[in-house]
Amino acid sequence: MNTFKLTIDGVVVEAEQGMTVLQAAKRAGLFIPSLCAHDELSPYGACRLCVVEIDGIRGTPTSCTTPAAEGMVVRTNTEQLQTQRRRTIELMMSGHPSPCFSCDSREDCEVEKSTPTKAGIATRCGACSNRPGCELRGVAMGNFTRDIDLPLLYSIDKIERDDPFIDKDHNLCILCGRCFRTCEKIHDKPAISIANRGKKAKISVEFGKAWSSEECRFCGTCVDECPTGCLTDRWGKWFGVQDSLVESVCTLCPNHCKLMLKVKQGKIIGAKMLALKKENAICALGKFGIAQIVNSPRRISRMQVKVGSEQIPSSFEDAVAKIKSLFEESAGGKLVISSRDAYVETRRGLRALAKKYGADFVELAGNAESLDAQTLSKIENGEYETVLVLGNWLSAEAASKIKHLIVADFAKSAAQKFADVVLPLSIVGETSATVAGADGKPLGCAKASEPALDRRATFEYLNAVIGDFSGGDFELESLAKDFASPALDKKNLPNKFLGHYLSDFAPDLLKLGLKKSPEAAEIENSKNGFEILEKKMLVPNFHSIKISAPDAAKYVKPGQFAILMANANSERSPFTIIDWDAKEGWIEFIVEEVGRSSSELGSLKKGDRIAVMSGPLGTPVDLENFAPGSSALLLGGCYGIGAIYSIARALKEKGVKTTCAIEASTSYMLYFKDKLAAVADKLIVKTRDGTEGTKGGCSDVLAEIGANFDSIIAIGCVFMMKKCAESAPKDDSKTQLCALNPIMVDGTGMCGACRVNVGGETKFACVEGPFFPLLKVDFKELGKRRTAYKLLEIEAMPRHIGGRCHS
């Protein structure tokens, strides 16, 4: 390789022929900020951050597109370049949801909230899944002041959440072109490109259609290469950056593509291509499906053996002994059902098992519709006394005809309740085993994650039942030949894995044309619960939902809440009541999207039904403490803006002089200004970035004028209330309250999940709260308790467009 020398910032560095100035700098360990540049992609020169000065070259060329040359003298960090970069970032930020950047409490807040809020829409860094790994943030932090002197161009219209697996928020896009350059590199003809120009330019398919209707295969590689949170993996994004990448094999279809599994804290959280090369292309199932299937709540994890008529959790030894005795002692017909989806070791083992006990042997293609008619009729006629089935191939009816049934499976199935033995299986990435490679040769699959609880590979059970079967007669065939690759065309995606409909685990696959299981279709048709009379998105991630609840509406008092569940499988979560009408029989809630349950509620529409509403709950605000003619200061942040409304209205009716102060991250997150102005004597507006009202938050209001009021109520996130407690007048004679929102289950004081520490005493927020003395709450403990289920909350995130998830 020919090398030559050039000077960068006074340092003489060596570069190779064909390198750009940026690459030469990088090679020498010198840093030039850049976003659109990517080692594997062609130079593009879009982001204008890597600008440099070069002697003899006019202006400030981009170092990513300028070839390095012998004797060049380059400067990368002059005052002019710094100013230029700052301006460039400011321009990017003016369309970006940037309030966290401008906020003076950013550092404190990010210590408190170490992971971003799992909001539906990234309205700021604190609600953006990409915060931990954001390249824009990284570059901007080093080149930025907090002030942006440009108008906000944020628009809710730039958010697209209708495509499977991928959320798109063009507010965050910096048009670096990495996504379509990646697409072009892997698929030759890019399925996406930049449509329109200027202010309207955006990454898109033709005519702004849904990507699923077009050439996009949903390999999701563009998501991996996006330097901002514009393109994200809807479900997996909240796990953040992986701890490690493990090279393994996707076994969900016979193509057996090699890929990288993303692992975090021992869990498989996603997958990506082995390398940015055409031959390593993967499909939607590999990219998004694996993690959703492996972490699905439909998985089974306990070995069960029937004792009498009950299945009880058992040990490995008991399960093995039971299988042995069933096969050995059975006098009637025996059958072993295998699946071509299984590992080579398993398929060999099942053949050996059938041979040893003289059982019939059937092996189905993984994507098969059902068992063959002949075998089915034999089962239905009761000709088989003992059956071992790998996967979901037996209906409840067929299973009920079998005297002794052994089910090996990775997920729940209808047949399992009839089984004498249930064996939970480890699958993709949880098993170290062999499959047939595309060339027909054995291909080793590495284990990336330790299988949870009792899960094991089928061959591990079989080894214990029949001993060593490695010499068994089994010839490896290449399956890829009769199976077109879904990496090339999404029409080739398989419907099933081990007899299970894949859309049950990753419902977005339905949008790519996969079949729906009969079970899922049934759930969809059920209609129960409380009808939604009105549903509005007040600002991104914040919804008001009005439901018909004539019985409950009679009893609501200001400050109360209710437990809501979007559907029968949702988690129980408390939501604040903002309005109600006993005569008309409705209750209105404020719902902030922060996780699965709230996203599910947020995705409902007028006319839909909420499965559960239990309430009103909690002790209402004691209005006796607010004397007519006295003065009150109500502070509301985020959802608290909605929460203080009913209290402000009640105080006005009582003749209390009320001042409301509301705080939001930025102007586009403010709501209820008119409603609050109508019921308050004075309304103070604060934004963290100063784009409306004055810059700052409720705690600043308290510090400035808090002492002038007889009573104070603060409602908002834990951080906001903690800040308020710090700046509140240290005067115990005043009524100073906050409303706490810990994790709750029943909401009636039974479970104890909502315990909070108030002045050294343990209180239950659901019955004794939600209102407690602001100065006495242990906010640190509250914050800790609220994040106790952080990882589980991410796993539970909806796997479905719009969050209506039944899995």
Among 12, 56, 58, 207, binds other proteins (CB under 8 A): 207
> Is 53 one of the binding residues for other proteins (CB under 8 A)?
no
Contact status: 45 vs other proteins (CB under 8 A):
no
Encoded tokens for 414: 């209808």
Buried b (16+ CB within 10 A) or exposed e, 274-289: bebeeebbbbbbbbbb
Smallest gap from residue 153 Cβ to other proteins (A): 20
Alpha carbons 667 and 652: distance in angstroms, whole number = 27
Strand order in the sheet with 73-75: 11-16, 3-8, 73-75, 53-54
CB of 274 to other proteins, least distance (A): 24
- Residues linked to residue 756 through DSSP beta bridges, in sequence order: 763
The reply to whether 191 sits near other proteins by the rule CB under 8 A is: yes
| DSSP designation for 299 | B
Q: How far is the CB of 25 from other proteins (least distance, A)?
A: 31
**In this chain, which of 30, 73, 91, 195 binds other proteins, going by CB under 8 A?**
195
Q: How far is the CB of 215 from other proteins (least distance, A)?
A: 6
CA–CA separation, 160 and 230 (whole Å):
10
Out of 16, 70, 206, 781, name the contact with other proteins by CB under 8 A: 206
Q: Is 543 helix (H, G, I), strand (E, B) or coil?
A: strand
DSSP secondary structure of 329-372: H--SEEEEEEETTS-HHHHHHHHHHHHHHT-EEEEE-TT-SSS-
Residues in 163-182 that interact with other proteins by CB under 8 A: 180
Stretch that binds other proteins, among 204-212, 243-251, 603-611, 789-797 (CB under 8 A): 204-212
Q: Is residue 259 within the footprint of other proteins (CB under 8 A)?
A: no
Piece of the chain touching other proteins by CB under 8 A; list 199-207, 319-327, 474-482, 781-789: 199-207
* Stretch of 127-135, 189-197, 423-431, 510-518 lying at the interface with other proteins (CB under 8 A): 189-197
Candidates 35-43, 150-158, 160-168, 200-208: pick the segment binding other proteins (CB under 8 A). 200-208
Q: How far is the CB of 186 from other proteins (least distance, A)?
A: 13
Contact pick of 53, 112, 214, 383 for other proteins (by CB under 8 A): 214
CB of residue 216 to other proteins, shortest distance in Å: 8
Least Cβ distance, residue 214 to other proteins (angstroms): 7
User: Is there binding between residue 189 and other proteins (CB under 8 A)?
Assistant: yes
Q: Whole-angstrom Cα distance, residue 3 to residue 700?
A: 60
Complex with other proteins: residue 44 or 719, whichever CB lies closer: 44
Site for other proteins contains 226 (CB under 8 A): no
Binding of other proteins at residue 193 (CB under 8 A)?
yes
Distances (CA, A) of 403 to 230, 339, 417, 604: 55, 22, 13, 45
Query: Is 489 a residue that touches other proteins (CB under 8 A)?
Result: no
Interface residue with other proteins among 28, 69, 194, 438 (CB under 8 A) is: 194
Which residue in 64, 205, 269, 725 binds other proteins (CB under 8 A)?
205
Span from 43-51, 98-106, 205-213, 494-502 in contact with other proteins (CB under 8 A): 205-213
Q: For other proteins, how many residues bind (rule: CB under 8 A)?
A: 16
Q: Which of 166, 192, 419, 754 lies at the binding interface for other proteins (CB under 8 A)? A: 192
One-letter-per-residue 3-state SS of 472-541: CCCCCCCCHHHCCCCCCCHHHCCCEECCEEHHHCCHHHHHHCCCCCHHHHHHHCCCCCEEEEEEEEEECC
| Residue 101 binds other proteins (CB under 8 A) | no
* 288 SS3 class: helix
The pairing of strands 586-592 and 573-581 is antiparallel
Query: Which DSSP string corresponds to 92-147?
Result: HHHSS--HHHH-TTHHHHHHHS-S----SS-SSGGG-TTGGG-HHHHHHHHS--S-
The owner of tokens 């995705």 is 603
**Amino acid present at 157:** D
What backbone torsions phi and psi does residue 248 show, to the nearest 5 degrees? -145, -160
Q: Which is nearer to other proteins, 89 or 226 (CB)?
A: 226
Shortest Cβ 217–other proteins spacing (Å)? 12
Site membership for other proteins, residue 753 (CB under 8 A)? no
Residue 514's contacts (CB-CB under 8 Å, 6 or more residues apart) are 493, 495, 501, 502, 503
d(CA 573, CA 577): 13
Query: Residue 199 interacts with other proteins (CB under 8 A)?
Result: no
Return all residues near 745 (Cβ < 8 A) that are at least 6 apart.
572, 751, 753, 754
Among 43, 116, 164, 190, binds other proteins (CB under 8 A): 190
218 near other proteins, judged by CB under 8 A: no
Instruction: Give the binding site for other proteins (CB under 8 A).
Output: 180, 189-197, 204-207, 214-215
